[in-house]
A = this chain, B = another copy of it.
Amino acid sequence: MKQYLKHHEWQIIEEGFDPHVNKISESIFSIGNGRMGQRANFEEDYSGETLRGSYVAGVYYPDKTRVGWWKNGYPEYFAKVLNAPNWIGIHISIDNHKLDLAKCKVEDFRRVLDMKVGLLSRSFTATFPDGKRVKVESKRFCSMAQGEIGAIRYALTPLNFSSKTTIGIYVDADVVNMDSNYDEKFWEEVYKEATPGRAVVTAQTKKTFFHVTTGMKYFIQSEGKNVDFERFNIEVREKFAGNVLQLDLQEGKEIVIYKYAAVLSSENHPKDQLVSACDNVLFDASVKGFDKLFEEHARVWTHKWEECDITIDGDVAAQQGIRFNIFQLTQTYTGEDERLNIGPKGFTGEKYGGSTYWDTEAYCLPFYLSTAEEKVARNLLVYRYKHLPKAIENARKLGFKDGAAFYPFVTMNGEECHNEWEITFEEIHRTSAMAYAIRDYINYTGDQTYLSQYGLEVLIGIARFWAQRVNWSTDKNKYVILGVTGPNEYENNVNNNWYTNYLGAWTLRFANDAVEYVKKSDPKRFEEIVRVTNFNDVQETQNWKKISENMYYPHDPNRGVILQQDGFLDKELIAVKDLDPKDRPLNQKWSWDRILRSCFIKQADVLQGIYLFEDDFDLDTIKRNFDFYEPMTVHESSLSPCVHVILASKLGYKEKAYELYLRTARLDLDDYNNDTEDGCHITSMAGTWMSVVKGFGGMKIKDGKLHFSPYTPDQWKSYSFRLEFRGRVLKIKISKSGTETILESGDPLEIVMDGKVISLK
């Protein structure tokens, strides 16, 4: 845990330059716009510790799988989020001394991320070894208004000298991924050109042949006028294009470099038109200029914040935390492109690879359902519908047949690309996250038509998977599910993980209901689905029914609790609080076998199931299970605390709820898990939002109605959030003295507040 950032309601502020936290800041201060993103690397050269990262949505590399021992069923590749061509680079040298913060004395360093308008600023004074001092102020953003534009304003003032300076401005595709499995570079040059004031490089990824064209135009001004260059060179080498210029710096006189970058991908343009499209984008950008571009960009942010802001009064750290989470989520995924998804690190790092985990359905969907128009959440669902053929192929590779669909644990295009057998092959619950998301979407939006249009085909595939994955235990006289890993990844290859069994059986019932619904509501479409999926509706649904009615669920009759899996009670049951603090986090301190044998739970497992199917359990049951499992939970997954916040809130455990809220809200800002330098935990940020809205606010949908049972944590004065719900916009303000609910737009609506029906007009 590190707490070096200043607390502020709207800004993330770093003061003073500490190279040891630079990589953490590079992650936290990242900017993006759903199409592209950029870690908070310095524009100028930096020879200190850094993880340079530029990312382009949807562009990946299928890096050959690396394992110690190959097991049948492993995928051929692990998709890497690509470090894309560098568009921010500005090289500065003065009298042959490079401006490099690792080699200068740095003073008055300040890095600020203004979340309200999506602007990264940085300023500092640097003293060169020869005593020359310069002041630098840089600002940059990735335009939320035009997703292919990045803009930089880089101001340089010589404080105590006049001298010649050399400035290099370039785009560079000769970049590496830190996590390349075989130390390969993933980009090849297709085209490059530099002309005065402009440079363009088109690079293509090996194997996948994505083309990305990165271009830049720049202007250098002083006192509002373009400056004259003394010398000017075109600099072109492999995968690199730029200009190098020499000009006179005069003591005390600021020069300002405006660099406009365009990043275009062949996902959105024909390959042969990328360069001309790039030039068009650059032309438009340079005509508008930095201030106008920024104004358009900031306007989008203002609108976004109107949609999804959460205010917290009386706790600046909590306010900053929740806004940081919402900011990152919003700049990672805008919902406009149904081919995209929410990578676990967004545009803030390359770790984990792949873009899509079950995080999307289980954690992110509720956020986008409530804070964006319906089509955003729907696009997330359609994304998985489009991957259905690949999910069927994934299942076939593992030995399933007849159209069973096994959604991947990690994917870019629907193909599995994770390679730990205990997760890839065994963490099977994720395939039903897709089914649950359909239910979630329909519950929230009331849009049942999704079932006939897309949903049923997916549900049939998933239900077929479960029907083949169970087996009949003559010993138990029940259906069992063997060899799985549940959400708690500190258990591997267990039998009858309760969460998995429960979710599997629920999926079979839900698919059954969906079959009945579509059969009745849209018989023609139903016939089409039957044909396309080769569906034997009588026989298959009967089988689903038989399985779901005869599923085995492990439990402990003595304690009256659900058992996480068979044999759980053989473990030594120890509370986390009784662990030696030296042993935490377990995943860094203990050997894997010791973790596996222990009772300690990485993330909500039984409690995840209770959270998802809350209405299936009475409060006593929830309490007994929470009281049993919470003390053994180490929350070493970023996805864990939010679920506990929601259940703790329901049970009135306010202190526990608040403790876990802080852990999720400031996970990256305070580097709780000592890994923010790799990138931020984007998907779990939706969990922070859920902690407030579903936890403290007690929001849920029941029988098509919004329910609330809000309370205010002791540490806060009040808080508020906004929801979009079936064409309405609601604002909910909660304070210790009561709750105010405002219907900002849309038709009248009945909601249920603390069990009482209220009509909103």
Contact = CB atoms under 8 A, between A and B. Distances in A.
Nearest to A491: B493
A476 B73 contact: no
Contacts of A421: 592-593
Nearest to A594: B399
A472 B573 CA distance: 10
A635 B594 CA distance: 31
A483 interface: yes
Interface of A: 65-69, 71-73, 78, 397-399, 419-422, 425-426, 471-476, 480, 482-483, 492-496, 566-567, 569-572, 587-597
B566 A482 contact: no
Contact of A420 (B69, B425, B492): B69
**Copies of this chain, tallied across the complex:** 2
Given A65-B68, A73-B593, A421-B592, A569 B426 contact: no
A72 B570 contact: no
A425 B597 CA distance: 11
A492 B495 contact: no
A591 B73 contact: yes
Nearest to A568: B475
Contact of A68 (B67, B475, B483): B67
Nearest to A566: B567
A417 to B, nearest CB: 11
A579 to B, nearest CB: 13
Contacts of A422: 493
Q: Which of A421, A483, A569 has the most CB of B within 10 A?
A: A483
A516 to B, nearest CB: 31
A574 to B, nearest CB: 10
Contacts of A69: 419-420
Nearest to A591: B73
A66 B495 CA distance: 29
Nearest to A592: B71
Contact of A482 (B476, B571, B588): B571
Closest 4 CB pairs of A and B: A73-B591, A425-B593, A475-B569, A71-B592
Contacts of A474: 569
A39 to B, nearest CB: 23
Nearest to A567: B495
Contacts of A71: 591-592
B483 A593 contact: yes
A433 B398 CA distance: 35
B399 A570 contact: no
7 contacts: A69-B420, A71-B592, A72-B587, A72-B590, A72-B592, A421-B592, A482-B571
A671 to B, nearest CB: 20
A483 B590 contact: no
Given A65-B68, A68-B66, A69-B420, A471 B572 contact: yes
B572 A472 contact: yes
B567 A419 contact: no
Contacts of A483: 593, 596-597
A591 B420 contact: no
A592 B73 contact: yes
A304 B65 CA distance: 48
A128 to B, nearest CB: 40
Nearest to A71: B592
Nearest to A421: B592
Given A67-B68, A592-B71, A480 B398 contact: no
A597 B473 contact: no
A552 to B, nearest CB: 9
Given A399-B591, A426-B593, 4 more contacts: A66-B68, A398-B593, A399-B590, A425-B592
Nearest to A469: B597
Contacts of A475: 569-570
A160 B474 CA distance: 76
Contacts of A570: 471, 473, 475-476, 480, 482, 495-496, 566
A573 to B, nearest CB: 8
Contacts of A476: 570
Nearest to A596: B483
A587 B69 CA distance: 13
B398 A569 contact: no
B594 A398 contact: yes
Contacts of A72: 587-592, 595
